[in-house]
Chain A
Amino acid sequence: MSTRLATGGRLIDRSRQVSFTFDGTTLRGHPGDTLASALLASGRTLVGRSFKYHRPRGVIASGAEEPNALVGLGQGDRFEPNARATTTELFDGLQAASQNCWPSLDYDVGAVNAALSRFLPAGFYYKMFIHPRAFWKHVYEPFIRHSAGLGRAPAVEARDPDRYEHFHHHTDVLVVGGGVAGLQAAKTAGESGLRVLLVEQTGHWGGRAPVDGGTIDGKTPEDWIGDTLQALDNMPNVTLRLRLQGAGLYDHGYVLGYERLADHAPDAPGPRHRLWRIRAGRIVTATGAIERPLPFAGNDRPGVMLASAVRDYIVNWGVSAGDRLVVVTNNDDAYRTALAHHRAGLTVPAVLDARPEGGGALMAEAQAAGIRVLTGRGIAQVNGTRALTGVEICAQAGEGTPLETIACDAVAMSGGWSPVVHLWSHCGGKLVWDEAAAAFRPDPDRAPIGQDGASNVIAAGAANGQGDLSSILKDAEKAGKTAARDLGGTPSDASAPDAEQPAEAPLAPVWMMPQGAPHALRAKAFLDFQNDVKVSDVHLAAQEGFESVEHTKRYTTLGMATDQGKMSNINGLAVLSRALNAPIPQVGTTTFRPPYTPVSMGAIAGEARGPLFQPIRRTPLHDWHETHGAKWEPVGQWRRPYCYPRAGEDKHAAVAREIDATRGSLGLLDASTLGKIVVKGPDAGRFLDMLYTNMMSTLKPGRCRYGLMCSENGFLIDDGVVARLDDDTFLCHTTTGGADRIHAHMEDWLQTEWWDWKVYTANLTEQFAQIAVVGPNARKLLEKLGGIDVSAETLPFMAFAEGQLAGHPVRVFRISFSGELSYEIAVPAGQARALWDRIVDAGAEWQITPYGTEALHVMRAEKGFIMIGDETDGTVIPQDLGLDWAISKKKDDYLGKRAQARSHMTDPDRWKLVGLKTLDGSVLPDGAYAVTEGTNVNGQRNTEGRVTSSYHSPTLGHGIAMGLAHRGPERMGEVLTFMRDDGKTAIEARIVDPVFFDPEGAKQNV
């Protein structure tokens, strides 16, 4: 049984205890423990269940690659599923729960899947559940879905109380990985004076070296690390960060960092996670290597662990994996584990070395320590289900005939090491197969390329395929120098430290143990532990023609678990290449995708959540609307009053009242959200002639013109009034939604097509508020406010005046979107509220009534004015809307002109704008279609028109609608049949003139 050793544990503080719970049981550990080390210390070898077969699983690794020991952490709003126990630092009060088991971890009903496993090979679901058809939906799929998922889902109404933030960082050199290679590379680069950022994903520096031993510059690795950190600390140009992972690498030296600030200290103030967006001139990936498991039958049993992990637990946390540890290996490194276990005073009954000749100096050391070493041997089978009782050993070269049973309660396995090449690969770095190490490592000739066209990523140390301490440090020193030199720095001439470690004998690849394992053993030899993918599954995939490594991955789910294949991929593709009889490099790897380990959604979103998700844009009059009971409508990022209901009024009543008041006396509208773009320069007129269908260059200063803008394809995209302020200055009004879009549209053309025209544009939407004063008493109101001559003669329709109104600098436009006498007053945003208040006061004698967007819409529809987004939808051209009058015939060109000449655009059969009036006076459903007899070639009901806007008109007392109808204007008086959205009930409406109210324009021409 795993347990806490009496001594040792360089990372834990034995003088203090912390308590935590696992599945409700209170357990104890020390500060410095990970959840995994504390669980092992408490004798918990069984910590979870696998995904498919619900097999019992224990901790297998000690770091980010852990596929088994996933737990649910915390509770309530702070619950987090699928947390890796190996990277969860212990704190007092931590609550963890096992996953994917019911009713409990020990007695899990889902484990019947394991018994049925022979019926559930890779891809079984593609071959089954086909008949009867209805069963898939009602029986099979609900069953599959029921067993889906690993971790519990957070509660439906959970609201994460923690904060997350984003951080931008610019550096010359980024070094990812704080092992000895990273430290050395950072030091070398730092000595050149360049800015260096060194990041390490765990909570401590030094990586594996303190566990693996050797000497650096005559010191223990631990001492060397301390000294080097000291040196780095003294360099003001170097920044060091723990618990910060390089998560993804993008173009141009853009690296994502994932910093976990509070996961180990939940009560610490500040954000929980921080997403770093780093720009680096050069990136050194000193990300180390990950040990591979060995594929033998029963290698997934709790108690079977990676050899490096067993050693880590002993040295770092003072925890033993068991009392009797069998080590099985194809390389020398695992002997260190045997020796560490032995030195801890525990028994190593045997080291099984698959290599016929065994290993080098480390093997000799183990033998000298009295450890029995069997060469050319492997494990045929593991005995015991939940707790290990022993292993059957066999000849590696054979088919698995058991030669001997060795009693043990833990197994340490090592299949060699794979460099961590993820970041290198994210942005196009290529790999080479290193035959000697049996691993892919970065190909320096095909590195990721930066914006300067040179390689901008340098792999260093174990991540670069280096094996022993000395070459790792040399490689790192070289990487640091290369980075510095690339960026114009002068590295110091200090050379890499001297390091010593016992020489190692070469590894012998083992992709199946024993080599000739029959199906029965292959079907128990696991490759992907979480997803239960076995050697036999990969063989089946190959047999069925899934020969590409991507096919095999998808067919078997190999490498698709939460470790994303960190432990399984190389073994899996080696098995595949053997099955296909193709060399490993030819089979290739699957694509490495970010992130390196899963990143919380909170961190990705950062601060932009809740009220900060998107800014709410407020006009200067927002507060007034708020205090006057506005019912808000989101319009893009703006909020606009929909209407101002009074006590006891519903929306409809409020809208009707606002319209009556406006048409009868005086209304007031906050029109500030309308886009206001200034276009200025000697070529401004010429430019606007291209943008608008109308002629704008002939507009006289002081006058306004209603203009239409089309896309290159001829479709109407925006409309608004253009005012000419002076010879080379125009003010273009756009729709609310159009302001930013149209400004960008203008710039697009100016910058890419007409870059030599002398025109500037500026979006002044927020600099000015716009207040519309509307209704028969509008002029009286302005006269009362005083300062500007607004008489019909001086300020006729479609003119504007500049001056002081009630002491405020304004521009008064006499334009109308309601058919009433109407002035739109533009005032600097900072003075808007003051002017508004003056207007409200002065208007009291005419019962001035603020109105919202809905009244605006109804009044414009009563007048037959089109609305962008209602009558237009990106498929409508001005000619469809009877707006030919606004299209200049004199201009050679404007955007959309050529497009509007295309055959379909000039087709007389197009649907065109009409007014629609139901026979019974009711309101037509918005968006309804008019139908005709029969169906089209595809069996769809034939249609001949549709409703584009529809309202109840309080002015007229019946429903009014605008719509597009087949040859509409030619068919005045005809009755169309519209369908409700049930597709069955019909409503009839007559085609009428779209101008329902005051067709002569008498109200406006006063």
Chain B
Amino acid sequence: MKRYSAFAVAREALTGHRGWERAWRRAQPKARYDVIIVGAGGHGLATAYYLGKRFGITNVAVLEKGWLGGGNTGRNTTIIRSNYLQDPSAAIYEKSRALYETLSQDLNYNVMFSPRGVMMLAQTEHEVRGYRRTAHANALQGVETRFITPAEVKKIVPIIRLEGPRYPVLGALWQARGGTARHDAVAWGYARACSAMGMDIIQQCEVTGIRRDGDRVTGVDTTKGAIACDKLGLVVAGHSGVLAQMAGFRLPIESVALQALVSEPIKPIMDCVVMANTVHGYMSQSDKGEMVIGGGADGYNNYTQRGSFHHVEETVRALIETFPMLSRLKMLRWWGGIVDMTGDRSPILSKTPLQNCFVNCGWGTGGFKAIPGSGWGFAELMAKGHAPLTDSFSLDRFREGRFIDESVAAGVAH
């Protein structure tokens, strides 16, 4: 792998950039792999990467039905935070956040992790109590957060209106080292590093069936033929239910469309991420200047990557309430992704009824931030059969009632 650096760019500039190699090889499937990962989203690619990096398992294929990073990984609003309430969540999200801090160097690919701070507004007494509780929990979990006053809120984000006619801002939970990263770069950076380790990332290769022998998986059928494997990891977000059906088991997952929006680019006015859960809207400003806004999830299950317009409406209203100066700005584009929701709004990283088949899904509306941590933990689970970071997220929890409910602290979980 040719290393990226300012020096390399300068050198290439002299020859019209003709020397850059492919970021990842164009791969055709081999007959067999030690591990097959289905789904080249962030989670699938990160899993492959840490399988290689941490456990030396490199005879790996990542199969993608479309183009890598084209699922939710390439559609999300890229908020990264770890101020979660429950211990298992805080552990995996904080691990993830910490990995993001050095990901550009690890991958030799600038993923533009930008710890500009994440602010979650408290606009009811109930929210104040919820966030104070989270701050307490975070202090013991090693997650740096702080409950801040309205005056501090205004200082960090001058465009906020504190005295909204409906819900005044009563304070906020502030995570200074939360932020955003460039979503495509995360997928591309992992893909490039996986490819450099000799792994095959096979795009336009849809898994259409899962081959079994008793309670063991033997391989998969794909649009590029049958491929055998020793272990199988299903990492397909909104399509997890479909893949589980192929494997002959069911998952407690519902798939719904979640939307996001961007405005036209304007000069920088907001330097952190603000989430307003009572009114339901959140926003950050990208390095390009667009206001990046997250919308709501549809109330019915579906696979169309669109979403209903009334969510756009409600989200924009919430934002104008919170940031009235936005009113004359224009929205450029809105879109949807199919998110995989579990009953307790926490992910599933688990063994399955099939011995050598593992599943990583249920990240729902908030799994971008978890990509490195999830890959780290899931790789360990696949390699060793258990992992401290993922054990609490097993499928058993639904049978035992051992939920990890995050909706407790705040309504939204992006």
Q: Which residues of A contact B (CB under 8 A)?
A: 51, 78-82, 118-119, 121, 124-131, 133, 136-137, 141, 144-146, 148-160, 162, 248, 250-251, 254, 256, 277, 426-428, 519-520, 523, 536, 540, 543-548, 550-551, 554-555, 557, 562, 564, 591, 593-595, 598-602, 604-606, 608-611, 613-614, 616, 633-635, 713-714, 869-870, 873-875, 899-900, 902-905, 925-929, 931, 936-941, 943, 946, 979-983
Residue of A146, A550, A613 with most chain B CB atoms under a 10 A cut-off: A613
A860 to chain B, nearest CB (A): 15
A151 touches B265 (CB 8 A): yes
CB atoms of B289 and A150 under 8 A apart: yes
Q: Please report the C-alpha to C-alpha distance between residue A78 and residue B22 in the assembled complex, in whole angstroms.
A: 48
A606 to B91, CA, bound (A): 42
Q: With an 8 A cutoff between CB atoms, is B54 at the interface? A: no
Nearest to A635 among chain B residues (CB) is B124
Query: Is the beta-carbon distance between B67 and A131 smaller than 8 angstroms?
Result: no
9 CB contacts below 8 A, A to B, read A80-B330, A126-B188, A133-B102, A149-B265, A153-B268, A159-B325, A594-B334, A875-B408, A926-B132
Instruction: Give the distance in Å from the alpha carbon of A606 to the alpha carbon of B314 in the complex.
Output: 10
Query: Does B326 have its Cβ within 8 Å of any Cβ on chain A?
Result: yes
**Bound complex: CA A862 to CA B234 (Å):** 52
A residues in contact with B269, CB < 8 Å: 153, 156
> How many residue pairs at the A-B interface have CB separations less than 8 Å?
326
Mark each residue of chain B from 340 to 357: 1 if its CB lies under 8 Å from any CB of chain A, else 0.
000100000000000000
Asked whether B87 lies within 8 Å of A927 as measured between CB atoms, the reply is no
Whole-angstrom distance between the Cβ of B170 and the nearest chain A Cβ:
10
Please state if B139 and A925 are interface contacts (CB–CB under 8 Å): no
Q: Which residues of B contact A82 (CB under 8 A)?
A: 264-266, 330
- Whether B244 sits at the interface, judged by CB under 8 Å, is no
Most A CB within 10 A of own CB, among B182, B267, B286, B312? B267
Q: Is the CB of A926 within 8 A of B325?
A: no
- Given A600-B330, A981-B139, A982-B139, residue A149 in contact with residue B268 (CB < 8 A): yes
Q: Does B135 touch A at the CB level, under 8 Å?
A: yes
B309 within 8 Å of A by Cβ?
Answer: yes
- Shortest distance in angstroms between A307's beta carbon and chain B's nearest beta carbon? 27
CB distance from B320 to the nearest CB of A (A): 5
Does B332 have its Cβ within 8 Å of any Cβ on chain A? yes
B321 touches A609 (CB 8 A): yes
Count chain B residues whose beta carbon lies closer than 8 angstroms to a beta carbon of A. Answer: 118
* Most A-side CB within 10 Å, residue of B134, B263, B288: B288
B288's partner among A129, A148, A926 (CB-CB below 8 A) is A148
Q: Which of B43-51, B216-224, B362-370, B397-405 contacts A (4 or more CB under 8 A)?
A: B397-405
List residues of chain A with CB within 8 A of the CB of B22. 543-545
Contact assessment for A543 and B20 in the assembled complex, using a CB-CB cutoff below 8 Å: yes
B26 located at the interface, meaning its Cβ lies under 8 Å from any Cβ of chain A in the complex: yes
A148 in contact with B325 (CB, 8 Å): no
Whether B185 is near chain A, meaning CB under 8 Å from some CB there, is yes
**CB < 8 Å neighbour of B74 from A519, A550, A601, A602:** A550
Binary CB contact string for chain B from 93 to 129 against chain A (1 if under 8 A, 0 otherwise) = 0010000001011001110111100000001111001
* A938 contacts B327, C-beta separation under 8 Å: no
Specify which chain A residues have a CB less than 8 angstroms from the CB of B182 in the assembled complex: 126
Chain B residue with the shortest CB-CB distance to A149: B289
B267's partner among A144, A152, A250, A591 (CB-CB below 8 A) is A152
Q: Which residues of A contact B279 (CB under 8 A)?
A: 613
Chain B residues with Cβ under 8 A from A540's Cβ? 17, 20
Q: Are A141 and B112 in contact (CB under 8 A)?
A: yes
Kindly state the separation between the CA atoms of A599 and B334 in the bound complex, as whole angstroms. 11
- Give the shortest distance, in Å, between A501 (CB) and chain B (any CB): 36
Listed from nearest, the 7 A-B pairs whose CB atoms lie closest are: A149-B289, A927-B133, A983-B139, A598-B330, A160-B327, A902-B401, A545-B22
User: Counting CB contacts under 8 A, is B151 at the interface?
Assistant: no
Known: A153-B267, A540-B17, A605-B327. 12 other contacts (CB 8 A): A82-B264, A130-B108, A145-B271, A250-B309, A562-B264, A598-B330, A598-B331, A604-B313, A870-B129, A925-B136, A927-B129, A929-B137
Please give the distance in Å from A625's CB to the nearest CB on chain B: 17
Q: A151-B266, A600-B328, A874-B408 are in contact. Are A591 and B335 (CB under 8 A)?
A: yes
Residue in chain B with minimal CB distance to A150:
B265
Give CA–CA (A546, B324) in the complex, Å. 40
Are A874 and B405 within 8 A (Cβ)? yes
Q: Quick one: CB contact mask for B3-24 with A, threshold 8 Å, 1 for yes? A: 0111011100100111011111
Contact, CB under 8 Å: B331 / A940:
no
Q: Which of A129, A550, A634 contacts B6 (CB 8 A)?
A: A129
Residue contact A156 to B325, C-beta cutoff 8 Å: yes
CB of B150 closer than 8 Å to a CB of A: no
Q: Which of B55-63, B140-148, B206-214, B235-243 contacts A (4 or more CB under 8 A)?
A: B140-148
**Chain A contacts of B135 at CB under 8 A?**
927, 981
Q: Which residue of the partner chain, among B70, B306, B316, contacts A605 with CB atoms under 8 Å?
A: B316
Chain B residues contacting A550 (CB-CB under 8 Å) are: 67, 70, 74
Q: Are B287 and A604 in touch, CB under 8 angstroms?
A: no
Contact of A616 with B87 in the complex, beta carbons under 8 Å: no
Q: Which of A51, A520, A608 contacts B317 (CB 8 A)?
A: A608
Q: Contact: A81 with B125, CB < 8 Å?
A: no
Within 8 A of A (CB), among B152-176: 158-159, 164-168
Q: For the complex, is B319 an interface residue (Cβ under 8 Å from A)? A: yes
Interface flag for B308 (CB, 8 Å): yes
A residues less than 8 Å from B263 (CB atoms): 598, 601
CB nearest to A79 among chain B residues = B328
Find chain B residues with CB under 8 A from A599 CB: 330-331
Question: Which residues of the partner chain B approach A156 to less than 8 Å between Cβ atoms?
Answer: 158-159, 269, 325
**Once the chains bind, are B401 and A713 in contact (CB under 8 Å)?**
yes
Q: Are B104 and A133 in contact (CB under 8 A)?
A: yes
State whether B328 touches A160 (Cβ < 8 A).
yes
Q: Is the CB of B388 within 8 A of A938?
A: yes
Name the residue on B nearest A530 (C-beta): B265
Residues of B within 8 A of A929 (CB): 136-137, 140
How far is B279's CA from A831's CA once the two chains are assembled, in angstroms? 33
Nearest B residue to A642 via CB reads: B125
**Interface residue B329 (Cβ < 8 Å from any Cβ of A):** yes
In whole angstroms, how far apart are the Cα atoms of A938 and B134 in the complex? 18
Q: Considering the chains assembled together, what is the distance between the CA atoms of A421 and B202 in angstroms?
A: 32
Q: Chain A residues near B306: list those with CB within 8 A.
A: 250-251, 426-427
- A128, A428, A548: which contacts B203 (Cβ < 8 A)? A548
Which residues between 356 and 414 of chain B lie within 8 Å of chain A, taking CB atoms?
A: 388-389, 391, 397, 399-403, 405, 407-408
**Nearest chain B CB to A931's CB is how many angstroms away?**
6
Q: How far is the CB of B196 from chain A (nearest CB, A)?
A: 12
- A601 with B319: CB separation less than 8 A: yes
Distance to closest chain A CB from B280 (angstroms): 11
How close is A807's CB to chain B, nearest CB, in angstroms?
A: 38
Contact partner of B320 (CB less than 8 A), chosen from A128, A150, A601, is A601
Question: What chain B residues lie within 8 Å of A78 (beta carbons)?
Answer: 328
Task: Tell me if B110 and A125 are in contact (CB < 8 A).
Answer: yes
